[in-house]
Amino acid sequence: MEALRRRAGELDARLAALAERGVIIVDPRQTYVGPAVDLERISEGVVLHPGARICGRRSLLGPRAEVGAEGPATLVDAVLGEGAKVASGYVEGAVLLRGASLGGAAHVRGGTLLEEEASTAHAVGLKQTILLAFVTLGSLINFCDCLMAGGSSRRDHSEVGSGYIHFNFTPWGARGDKATPSLIGEVPRGVLLRERRIFLGGSGGMIGPRRVGFGAVVGAGSILRDDVGEGRLALQGGRNIDRPLPDDHIDPLEPRLGRNLRYIGELAALRRWYLDVRRPRIPAAGHGHLRLVIDEAIANLDGAIAERTLRLAAFARERGMTLPTLPIDQASPCPLTIEPEPELDYVDHVAWVQGLGDARAEALRAWLVGIAAAVVAAGEG
């Protein structure tokens, strides 16, 4: 009993310390901040609604982040940038950049990164998922092990309709595998925020690993078993199959080897974008929370690369191939000179990207293409 009283007293002290720092705790009686949480990583202006539970040493809440507006919300080692929101649900190991949001009953696990103003509606499950800026997911969606890009604003964004599933497991081999990541859009063009949006119609799905090009529209109810090219309208139906299945059936290395290498290469390119473009622009003074959030995003990209490499290595090994070491850290230098901007003159990342001239944007695109291509070439060599 004494131990319980002591822990309750310690919790009261933590909540009081946060309130003194300008954190809005709507009802301290229904708010929990665990002992592992570094209170310095919870910014002034954060709003914690009743039922908010913040746990884990990695957890970080930027200015005006909001947790639990629609119901109980548990965050474990989760990182929310400025103005990011979690309406309710469970979030572990995910990073949300400025203005990103998760709707009610979210279930989000490690390796997930939502860039600026990316969002989900209610009851969405994510794991090892990367949504570039503005990408929007509807309700009742399971969207694990994929990356999606496209669009240029909250009014012009890639979107997934409600009731969608990315099927990220194949039963082939001794135990099946998850070497099934899908690319909806791509990194080298997607990060520049000037490509056509992609629409995946609701009550549908995608059997990974697939690729969908910018400007594609996929009709509702489609289960994608084939890629969709750029600017294409697709409506794919199922196939009737009834045939013997040998106990030792296993699919060949290709095309999944190449698709997985391409996905890892895209992640490597996105990682260099963060390391060589996004982070160096942050002013040396001030904006400390932004620097921490970007560092945590880089950590998630490192984890995503490790996860995909692990899955691919197991896939290849079962088919008699040893995956070579991939050149994740051997990128060529960024073609632009990127230096910290003065604190008072700092331009938000999205505005900066959209203000790039065509020549500079093309130089960055070509650089990122080269990074991804080097990974593919090493893996196939």
Closest CA to 288 of 373, 211, 346, 371: 346
69-83, 161-175, 240-254: lowest mean pLDDT where? 240-254
Say whether the peptide bond before residue 324 is cis (omega within 30 degrees of 0). no
More confident residue, 230 or 174: 230
CA atoms within 13 A on the CB side of 54: 33
pLDDT over 80 (residue 154): yes
For β-strands 211-212 and 182-184, DSSP reports them as parallel
| 0.95 exceeded by pTM | yes
Q: State the CB neighbour count (10 A cutoff) for residue 303.
A: 16
**Are 119 and 103 within 8 A, CB to CB?**
yes
User: Is residue 110 helix, strand or coil?
Assistant: coil
Mean pLDDT of 12-31: 96
Helix or strand run (H / E) with residue 260: helix 256-273
pLDDT over 80 (residue 2): no
Between CA 105 and CA 96 the distance in angstroms is 16
Say whether the peptide bond before residue 335 is cis (omega within 30 degrees of 0). no
Helix, strand, coil % over all residues of the chain, rounded to 5: 30, 20, 50
Between CA 168 and CA 290 the distance in angstroms is 32
How many angstroms separate the Cα of 169 from the Cα of each of 137, 179, 357? Answer: 21, 8, 41
Work out the pLDDT band at 343, boundaries 50, 70, 90: confident
Structure tokens of 155? Answer: 């009014």
pLDDT over 80 (residue 179): yes
How many angstroms separate the Cα of 371 from the Cα of each of 17, 146, 271? Answer: 46, 19, 10
pLDDT over 80 (residue 4): no
Mean pLDDT of 265-280: 98
Tell the CATH superfamily of the 2-195 domain. Answer: Hexapeptide repeat proteins (2.160.10.10)
Work out the pLDDT band at 124, boundaries 50, 70, 90: very high
Percent of the chain with pLDDT over 70: 100
